Amino acid sequence: MTGPQVAVVGERNPGHRSHVALDRAAARLPEGVTASWVATDVLAANPDRLARLDGVWMAPGSPYRSLDGALLAIRYARERGVPLVGT
């Protein structure tokens, strides 16, 4: 059995200081919690990818490649009571 899965929604850019800090913060999540980056355009093309999530973490750094994908993730969390963090 796997632990909670959190999507970090946004386009990861290793040159973006806040993304590096977010990676460091995600590395300090409790044992068993997995956080992985998911690009907004991937979510827009595959909204079913949200069904496996236990949490959504919206990354800073807009504009996103797909505003629809970003809003889809936020709507999913809001409508289903899934924890959502916006940074």
Amino acid symbol at 86: G
Question: Above 70 in pLDDT, residue 72?
Answer: yes
* 3-25 mean pLDDT: 92
Q: How confident is the model at residue 52 (pLDDT cuts 50, 70, 90)?
A: confident
In one letter, which amino acid is 87? T
Place of tokens 């899965």: 5
Angle at 36 between CA 23 and CA 6, to 5 degrees: 105
Say if pTM beats, i.e. exceeds, 0.85: yes
As its CATH architecture, domain 5-86 has 3-Layer(aba) Sandwich (3.40)
Q: Is the pLDDT of residue 24 over 90?
A: yes
Q: Is the pLDDT of residue 35 over 60?
A: yes
Q: How large is the average pLDDT for residues 20-34?
A: 92
